[in-house]
Structures are given as structure tokens and as C-alpha cells.
Structure 1
Amino acid sequence: MVKIENVTKIYEQKENPKDKKGIATKALDNVSAIIQDGEFTAFAGPSGSGKTTMLNLIGCLDSITSGKIFIDDKDISTMTSQDKNLIRQQKIGFIFQSYNLIPVLTAQENVELALDLLKKYSKEEISSMAYEILKEVGLDGLQNRKPNQLSGGQQQRVSIARALVKKPSVILADEPTANLDSKNGLNIIELMQELNRTHNTTFIFSTHDKMVMEHCRRIIKIKDGKFID
């Protein structure tokens, strides 16, 4: 479960590095929500609304100005950087619009790397788990191809496999269809729906894509840093 309690995020931009104070921008303004295990939910809103900031805070990629966020009853807002790293490795999977695959590694190796970082599986287990998850996302026979040998849709499937293989509590998907045409975008969102059902993994999106919103079971709309009904 992800619990967001009265979260505010303020960015301060300094025009001159010597300035003591900069211009404060409130990206999120005292927002609260609860996302239960197994949900398929989107933060939806226009560019600059705060939806990606919300995902970054849940994913321990940025720090909260005030408020609290709990992941599986653990308060990440008070954690050290080291503890946040552990949460990212063990409990959170990431899917990015630009895929963020390592170009010199094959699809298999990109997925294996996520498991290798956990330091809990043997080489044989890592190889088997990566192979099986790539089959599950429809890439059987393409495991040994590098990213530049795969289409955009296939690269996004690799990134989904990489996120899912470590069995996270939550998968955060930031505009996952943004770089895909409508057909491939639909295929990707339907694949994630199926994985959500079979693995009961929580999926949380940031999006302004109507197709993604139509497939989500819950929409949390964001405007000017606030959650709106």
C-alpha cells in the first residue's frame, strides 16, 4: 500500500548561485491519497501539474518538503539516502517513457542487472528469472538483442520486464506510452493490465494520455499541484 499524507514539494530556483534565497515554486500542495495493493491507478494532468513530481517522491528519487509517504507501512520521508536506495531496489520498479535501457547490454542482460543488484540470487537463478519474464512480456526469441535492434514497443517491454522481475510491491510508470504510436501504446497498456492481474502488483502511472486513463481503474487528477475530484 502507498499512503500519501499532506505532502508538499517546493522547489527553489536561484538566478544567481550567490543568492541566499531563490524563487520558490510549489510543485505539490498538501496532497493526500491512499493507493491499495494491486491497484491500477494514474496521476493525470497537464504538463507541469505535479504528476511526475508525485511519482518521483513515491519512488524515492526526490525528497519531500513536508508531509509523509508510506510504502508498505514504511515512512520513506524520514529515511536516510541508504535506506531509500534499499527501498528502490527491493520494493519499487520503474518504467520510463525513454526506456532507459543500457545500450551495450542485451535485453536479457538489462533484465538480469536488476536482479544482480539485489545480491540475493545465484547466476543460474538470475538467468532463468530474466529469461522467463522476457517470455511473459512477449519477447521470447529476442532475449539476445540489444536495444538498437528492437522496436520502441519491444524496448518498452524490456523495461517492463526489468521492473517486474524483482517482484516489487509497486511499479511506477512515467508516461510509458509517450514515445509510442497508438497501436504499440495500446499493446503496452494492455500488457501491463494483464501483468497487474496475474502478479497483483500495484501499477501507478503519470500520464495525460486518454487511452492510458481509459484503462486505469482509478484516476487521481492533479491541477496546479493539488489533487482534484
Structure 2
Amino acid sequence: MNAPASIFQPAAPSAQPTWSDEDRARAHHYALLGRLFFAAPDGPLLAALVASARVLGAGESAFAQAWAALGEIAADSDAAAVSDEYETLFYGIGRPEVMLYGSFYLAGFLMEEPLAHLRDDLAELGLARRSGVAETEDHIAALAEVMRHLVLTGPDEAGLARQRQFFTRHLQPWYGRLADALMAAPQARFYTRVGALARAFFDIESEAFAME
């Protein structure tokens, strides 16, 4: 399964914003998590994770430790095995072992009311799902892509308000349950570490938005 270049067709920005180093780093992490949750990493991406962990995995914070653990498992994994794990966890026969859709965690079923509310908010943001994309908009990879888009198109005060509103409505209520599901999944190895990194990064985002 190959990830498309983008899940959404965004509206054209009116001007090129200026990004801080923090905004660039946040956008990078949203993009990375979206990529890892949308499709299994290939060999070059696994190697890139190992290299990144050497820099980002230094320290005692939960975020640094999550990066160190991801780099360690990436160094000890091959692309074929991780691809098999991805398919087993998220696209197994019958019900997947781990769901990647917000509606499941918020309402107990797919294609429920939370997805309708999400689509309303996406329409207000000028975002529409690209044709040919099977995953619904509440897929964790899609939500990470939206947050990356909001970070890169709105570094000002109004943009931060949009980021906070979208995150607290559509990611914050359930990302911890996804991470817990990955921790409990018997078949999870590489993706346990991805879930830990997602939790650590989203925890930082939650704390930052709470202070604004």
C-alpha cells in the first residue's frame, strides 16, 4: 500500500507565511506521523528514523525517550517485516486489530457523528478529500496532515487559534486511546514505538495549546 502525496486538496494560500524553527519542527513531526500511520515505512525511511533518533533521542523527556526507542526498533527492523506488521494491525481479515479512525474511539463505530462534525470543520477550512483516497477524513494520518497544513499556513495568532480548535476537537479526545491500543496489540512491535512517539508529541501539543 503506497501513500499518496496528500490526502486532502487544500485551498491555495493567499500569501507565503514565515515559519519559526518551532513551526517547522512541528510540521515535520505531523508529516512524519501521518506518513507512518498511512503506510508502512520503506527502507530509506527506516534509515532516516535511525539517523533522526541519534539527534532527537538524546535527553530524559518522554519525547526524547520515544524517539530513542523508535530509532532502536527501526535499526532492528526491515521494511518487509514492518509492512507485514502494518497490514496485520490495521488491515487484517475481518475487524482490524487496531483502528486508526477517530469515530471508532469517540462513538464506538466507524462513519459516525464525529466524522460528520469533522467534515463540517474541514469544509470551513477549505479542505476536501482528494478523489481516489479510500480512507475517511478521521483517519489519524489525515488528521495529522490537516494539522501540518494548519501549522504551515497559519503561524499567526488567528492561525494558532485554528490549530488549537482543530486539535482539541478532533485529535486530543482520542489519541491516547490509540496509543494504548497499540501498546496492547500482541502483533505490534514497530508500531508500539510509533504510538509512543505520537502520544509524546501530542502530549506536548496539548500542553502548549492549554497555555495559550
TM-score by length of 1: 0.34
Structure in which a larger fraction of residues adopt strand = 1
Structure label with greater radius of gyration: 1
Structure in which a larger fraction of residues adopt helix = 2
